[in-house]
């Protein structure tokens, strides 16, 4: 019996596709040469490395990055989307067999309910187009399957050695440049607006995320808030307010939160990442220095005054609180800590989010010897606890997300149990 089959037995009350998704996100995946030779060539959306490397344990081959041969998103047979996280050591491999793509665990096909048979997210039409200056549109806005644009693909916390310890946004850019891959680190607002307008004409697109690293200095005479607001005003001025979008920023002052809301963006994600006070200081030293944990939480809660229900979200990198060398050593303590954060925020009308921690190889934590992701048990318990709290507080889902576009965690895959 394979390990994933033991999970199906152990967690018989959990949908099997959710368990498969957790495993592929936790441990990453390998692709055989047959997949790399055919999937993208036949229309799969290529992996764009739109913000992080999403390379677990070992850095993805630089030539593979350059050629964009790995599919961006795996689609399980019930429609569940799963982000590609490459890991040369993963027990999970996807191969092509008789024109089908099959998940294998240690050379054994996953056969339960045809869950092992997968497809890949198709590339949108705009991926074949270019801007007038020759820039490929896919370099400006990624399809993952929501639309995602990293407006500033760098974080200036790295300049001071204060980066979040799970993050590799800046090393990822450097790695891609070394591979010979063309990068657009700072997106021009007119470029993003033009691509977004074209992309949103395709019927499969309805949600979008605008993100980027923290700016501590000034760019074009603007600080962090003014820079991002100028981009938002240009983009939303062109595409309108019909579409549900979110912007991921630092926890800004009350006045600056109002300024962000005035652009017309649907929601905001000032991501706290980890709840425990000591771990926040250790894992997020830049956020601690420039804002501080207690002030971060206060600002997130205060932002509820500026956005509609479900419009204020704060992401938790779920599982990072168990990271070596300073994290929780047992699952229940880690779960209790994070659920405490979920409950506090939900009780103040904030909808927390979580993604499954990826041990980015170029991050600080990725360089710790024998670093391991949180176990499957942790993710089952944290997600079940999240839903219990949603029911308790009547919490609304994050408004700029849905099951079809959420490939980095399974919270929407549980939705039939709580159809809020």
Q: Residue 356 domain-assigned?
A: no
pLDDT at residue number 218:
78
User: How many residues are present in the chain?
Assistant: 420
Tokens of 281: 């200081």
Q: Residue 150 domain-assigned?
A: no
> Residue 39 is part of which domain span?
3-120
Burial label for 368, CB within 10 Å (0-12, 13-18, 19+), is: middle
pLDDT at residue number 417:
56
Q: Residue 211 domain-assigned?
A: no
Distance of alpha carbon 116 from alpha carbon 77, whole angstroms: 8
Can you state the percent helix, strand and coil of the chain, rounding each to 5? Answer: 40, 20, 40
pLDDT at residue number 66:
45
Q: Residue 316 domain-assigned?
A: no
pLDDT at residue number 266:
94
Q: Residue 405 domain-assigned?
A: no
Q: Residue 24 domain-assigned?
A: yes
Q: At what angle do helices 376-393 and 331-346 cross, to 10 degrees?
A: 20
Q: Residue 59 domain-assigned?
A: yes
pTM of the model: 0.93
pLDDT at residue number 67:
53
Q: Residue 98 domain-assigned?
A: yes
**Mean pLDDT of each 10-residue bin along the chain, 420 residues long:** 91 93 95 93 90 65 59 94 92 94 94 87 96 94 93 92 95 80 84 95 89 84 86 93 92 93 96 98 97 97 95 97 97 98 98 94 93 96 94 92 90 69
How many Cβ atoms from other residues are within 10 Å of residue 79's Cβ? 11
Tokens of 67: 């050629």
Distance of alpha carbon 9 from alpha carbon 319, whole angstroms: 23
Domain count, the chain: 1
Going by C-alpha positions, the residue among 311, 294, 299, 396 that lies closest to residue 346 is: 396
């Amino acid at each position: 019996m394979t390990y994933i089959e033991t999970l199906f037995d152990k967690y018989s009350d959990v949908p099997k596709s959710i368990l498969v998704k957790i495993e592929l996100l936790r441990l990453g995946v390998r692709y055989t040469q047959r997949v790399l030779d055919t999937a993208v060539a036949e229309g799969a959306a290529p992996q764009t490395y739109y913000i992080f490397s999403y390379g677990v344990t070992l850095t993805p081959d630089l030539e593979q990055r350059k050629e964009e041969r790995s599919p961006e998103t795996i689609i399980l047979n019930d429609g569940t989307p799963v982000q590609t996280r490459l890991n040369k050591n993963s027990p999970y491999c996807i191969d092509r067999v008789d024109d089908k793509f099959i998940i294998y665990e240690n050379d054994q096909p996953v056969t339960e309910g045809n869950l092992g048979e997968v497809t890949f997210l198709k590339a949108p039409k705009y991926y074949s187009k270019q801007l007038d200056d020759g820039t490929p549109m896919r370099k400006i806005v990624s399809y993952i399957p929501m639309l995602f644009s990293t407006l500033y693909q760098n974080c200036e916390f790295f300049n001071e050695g204060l980066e979040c310890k799970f993050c590799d946004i800046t090393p990822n850019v450097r790695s891609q440049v070394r591979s010979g891959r063309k990068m657009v680190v700072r997106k021009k607002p007119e470029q993003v607006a033009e691509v977004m307008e074209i992309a949103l004409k395709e019927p499969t697109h309805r949600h979008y995320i605008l993100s980027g690293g923290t700016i501590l200095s000034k760019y074009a005479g603007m600080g962090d808030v003014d820079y991002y607001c100028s981009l938002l005003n240009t983009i939303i001025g062109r595409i309108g307010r019909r579409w549900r979008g979110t912007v991921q920023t630092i926890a800004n002052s009350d006045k600056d939160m109002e300024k962000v809301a005035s652009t017309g963006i649907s929601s905001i994600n000032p991501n706290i990442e980890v709840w425990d006070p000591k771990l926040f200081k250790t894992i997020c030293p830049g956020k601690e220095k420039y804002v501080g944990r207690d002030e971060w939480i206060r600002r997130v809660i205060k932002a509820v005054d500026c956005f509609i229900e479900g419009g204020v979200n704060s992401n938790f990198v779920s599982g990072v609180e168990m990271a070596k060398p300073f994290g929780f050593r047992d699952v229940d303590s880690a779960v209790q800590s994070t659920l405490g954060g979920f409950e506090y925020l939900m009780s103040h009308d904030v909808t927390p989010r979580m993604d499954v921690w990826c041990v980015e190889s170029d991050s600080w934590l990725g360089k710790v010897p024998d670093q391991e992701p949180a176990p499957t048990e942790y993710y089952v318990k944290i997600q079940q606890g999240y839903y219990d709290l949603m029911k308790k507080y009547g919490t609304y889902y994050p408004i700029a997300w849905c099951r079809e576009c959420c490939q980095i965690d399974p919270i929407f895959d549980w939705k039939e149990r709580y159809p809020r």
